[in-house]
Amino acid sequence: MFIYSTDRARLRRHFQKDPVLFSYHIGDLDDFYFPHCQWAVVYEEQRARIEETILIYTGCETPTVMAFGLTARFAPFMNEIVEILPPKFYCHFMVDSRATFGRVYRETPLGTHLKMKLTDTGDLAPLSDDSNIRRLDPSHESELKQLYDTAYPGHYFTARMLETGKYFGYIEDDRIVAVAGVNVDSDQYKIAVLGNITTDPEYRGRGLSRIVTTRLVSELAHEGKLVCLNVKADNDHAIRLYERLGFAKIHEYEEALFELL
């Protein structure tokens, strides 16, 4: 039988079993994200530790469910919770859970993805000023949304994330033409997950995404954070970029949109 937990200490101990797999989960323990999270958990028999968990994040217009298991108890846990999940949600999950979701939901597949981790900072440039790179803040919301709508349809950007101070834009012709940001950033838990990285189609082919991503990753690494990212497994161009920056492939998983049948 699962319950909902707000015990951050025990949740964190569980996630430390695999910090890359649970990178979003660890970051979401931060006060900035925690009020938007529901943590369904299964305890081991003596309730000394969490054995499995599923995260339901409600901080976006459409909730996101993160369903990654570590033990044989995860499958029955999934069978128990699947019918009380939101009527529509994005999901990150391992491929062997697909059939369980399919009993209740119609799936729109969003592809196989990789979880990558920064393992080598040797090629990262030291922090420096660049007149074309600007740290973005909430005043850039409107312009940034226009860029995402043009360059990254189906993006997951929410204006609230600009409050993290971890969005960098490349400025040319008096506008933002490339951006790199985060989906998760926590000073408290020393972890960050990159996200919402794109370049205006008119300015592609010049390495601008690499420039702003390098600036962002350099700062995060300088802060001593575990830096992770998710990328589509067939996005060879992006994977090569991240590998050049020092990232390594760690896990493979699935993403999809699920809606009630």
Give per-residue pLDDT as tens, 112-123.
999 999 999 876
User: What residues are paired with 179 via a beta bridge?
Assistant: 169, 198
Q: What is the per-residue pLDDT for 127?
A: 62
Q: What is the mean pLDDT of the chain?
A: 95
Asked if 135 contacts 165 with a C-beta cutoff of 8 angstroms, the reply is yes
List of domains in the chain: 3-116 (3.40.630), 120-245 (3.40.630.30)
Bridge partners, residue 170, by sequence: 133, 178
Q: What is the dihedral of CA 183, 187, 188, 189, to 10 degrees?
A: 60
Give 161's contacts (C-beta < 8 A, 6+ positions apart): 167, 181, 182, 183, 196
Instruction: Give the model confidence (pLDDT) of 155-197 as tens digits.
Output: 888 999 999 999 999 999 999 999 999 999 999 999 999 999 9
Binning pLDDT at 50, 70 and 90, where does residue 125 land? low
Say what the pLDDT of residue 206 is.
94
User: Does residue 45 carry a pLDDT above 90?
Assistant: no
What pLDDT, on the 0 to 100 scale, is given for residue 121? 81
Separation of alpha carbons 198 and 106, rounded Å = 29
- Report the alpha-carbon distance of residue 217 to residue 236 in Å, rounded: 20
Indicate the range of 49-58, 76-85, 119-128, 152-161 predicted with least confidence.
119-128
